[in-house]
Amino acid sequence: MTPRTSPNVTEQGSLVTVRHPSGSSCEIDKLGATVTSWRVQDRERLFVSRKAVRDGTKPIRGGIPLVFPQFGQGPLMPGQHGFARKLYWTYTGVARDDPTEVLVAFELKDSDATRSSGWAHAFKLTYVVTLGADTLGTHLAVTNTDKTPFKFTPLLHTYFATPDITEVRVHDLKSLNYTDKVREAQAYYEDRDAVTFDAEVDRIYHGAPNIIHLDVDPRTTILIKKNNLRDVVVWNPWADKAQEMADFADEEYKSMFCVEAGTVHEAVSLQPSQTWEAGQQLIIK
């Protein structure tokens, strides 16, 4: 991929801003290659906490953090969700710019920082963010540049903004089994037509369909179209957990929810010289 520039893309410090001729826009912070804004029809569609730390000392609380190579708690240090969202990525330029879409690309390779986390493998990550008039695509490619296989659990930890969490409806998860991390990681069966929020929710839905409908409010629907990502995580910290997070304001749980496409119930295994690719497209309906 040959880096090039575009009048629709600006780079200032750690922030890359992409604008579409329709008026939509997005912003990607090189810290974690985290998408921190997606505006369509002059409305912000992603949530970022007003207390989010943006100086590189910790991951950004909100937007679309990239979870790699470890979802949740595990052997890697420090903390959970791996190192990809905690490191600065290399912005490699504009991959495509035409009347329908603008694509920008980022790259992360193994380094002293990744090896010091306890994950000793050589790898290359390529991340492409695609902005359309009413769409946002995020596509991840993982290449094993090591001499031995490795396993990983990738996830797009998408935070959606909503005017009222009690109005949110997450569809298309009925009849799935899920792991409920609020209830001691026990297995349950989803029998509701739509998942709603009236308390803390932290669930991994196994084998979720590739299209998920989100009613953000009674007038707005967002579609998640995922590709090669088997599971969906649904999360809202609610009041008590919100108060435990220093980078999240106490009342912000009322204006956000996460629906996260990933492969986390069973890890992806990748052989040397192989590349694994997956992603999602968010569509305003």
pLDDT of residue 1: 45
Reported confidence tier of residue 77, pLDDT bands at 50, 70, 90: low
Reported confidence tier of residue 73, pLDDT bands at 50, 70, 90: confident
3-state secondary structure of 266: coil
| CB half-sphere exposure, 23, CA atoms < 13 A | 5
pLDDT of residue 80: 78
According to DSSP H, which parts of 184-267 are helical? 238-244
Q: Give which of 37, 46, 26 is closest to 255, Cα–Cα.
A: 46
pLDDT of residue 79: 66
Asked whether 164 and 254 are in contact (CB, 8 A), the reply is yes
Residues 126-183: tens digit of each pLDDT: 999 999 999 999 999 999 999 999 999 999 999 999 999 999 999 999 999 999 999 9
Give 253's contacts (C-beta < 8 A, 6+ positions apart): 165, 236, 237, 238, 239, 241, 242
Is 206 exposed, middle or buried (CB count within 10 Å of its CB: 0-12, 13-18, 19+)? Answer: middle
CA 1 to chain centre: 23
Of residues 76 and 91, the one with the higher pLDDT is 91
pLDDT of residue 264: 96
**Helix (H), strand (E) at residue 115:** helix 112-115
- Catalytic residue at 260? yes
Mean pLDDT of the chain: 95
Give 116's contacts (C-beta < 8 A, 6+ positions apart): none
Q: Which domains does the chain have, with CATH numbers?
A: 9-284 (2.70.98.10)
Known binding-site residues for substrate equal 61, 80, 85
Residues 190-234: tens digit of each pLDDT: 999 999 999 999 999 999 999 999 999 999 999 999 999 999 999
Q: Give which of 8, 16, 9 is closest to 32, Cα–Cα.
A: 16
As given in the structure block, the two tokens for residue 1 are: 């991929």
- Catalytic residue at 184? no
Known binding-site residues equal 61, 80, 85
Residues 7-61: tens digit of each pLDDT: 999 999 999 999 999 999 999 999 999 999 999 999 999 999 999 999 999 999 9
pTM value? Answer: 0.96
pLDDT of residue 102: 96
> What letter represents residue 96's amino acid?
R
Asked whether 91 and 165 are in contact (CB, 8 A), the reply is no
Catalytic residue among 157, 200, 244, 252: 157
Catalytic residue among 260, 265, 266, 277: 260
- Greatest CA separation found in the chain? 52
Residues 227-271: tens digit of each pLDDT: 999 999 999 999 999 999 999 999 999 999 999 999 999 999 999
pLDDT of residue 75: 75
